[in-house]
Amino acid sequence: MSDAQALAGALAQGARLALEFNPVAGVAAAASAGLLAGAPRASRVQARSAAAAVVACWLLGDGPALAGALASAGQLSGPGLVAAAQVATWAIGGLCIGYAVPAAVGVTVGRRVIFGTARLAALMIGVATATAIAAISASMTW
């Protein structure tokens, strides 16, 4: 197997692992981001707090598995760059797919609501999006 084939296989395996994010932590990230930054006049501090909450939920949800993968990176797909590419794809893909996208969708909806229920709308849409993504990714068979 050539280096390019090994790298492509590692990236594909990392993408598969990214779809196996923690759905409870994804829902918590979307809910917290919606509550913190889902208002039309949310400040930059609230937006930064929402981003920090998403990263914290990601670290609590997928962090232990990623730490274990980093500890045994040499055993995942081979030495060096290939294993690092797999773990990086897993980490970035899981953060984006399972945590950041639902939170961003919820916050975007909340900022468009103009009558008093913006944070509630952001929370509910974010949670629904996180749940839908988790259900779709759990139903995929590889």
Task: Tell me whether residue 136 is in a domain.
Answer: yes
Distance separating alpha carbons of residues 34 and 11, to the nearest angstrom: 31
Task: Tell me whether residue 122 is in a domain.
Answer: yes
pTM of the predicted structure, to 2 decimals: 0.86
CA 67 to chain centre: 16
CA 106 to chain centre: 14
Sequence letter at residue 119: R
Task: Tell me whether residue 69 is in a domain.
Answer: no
* 89-142 pLDDT tens trace: 989 999 999 999 999 999 999 999 988 889 999 999 999 999 999 999 988 866
* 45-88 pLDDT tens trace: 999 999 999 999 999 999 898 888 777 765 544 566 777 888 88
The total of structural domains in the chain comes to 1
pLDDT value at residue 105: 96
Q: Please say whether the beta carbons of 116 and 40 come within 8 A.
A: no
Task: Tell me whether residue 87 is in a domain.
Answer: no
Task: Tell me whether residue 54 is in a domain.
Answer: no
Task: Tell me whether residue 4 is in a domain.
Answer: no
Task: Tell me whether residue 48 is in a domain.
Answer: no
Task: Tell me whether residue 74 is in a domain.
Answer: no
Percent of the chain with pLDDT over 70: 92
On the question of pLDDT at 21 being above 80, the answer is: yes
Q: Domain of residue 137: give its range.
A: 95-142
On the question of pLDDT at 2 being above 60, the answer is: yes
* 30-55 pLDDT tens trace: 999 999 999 998 899 999 999 999 99
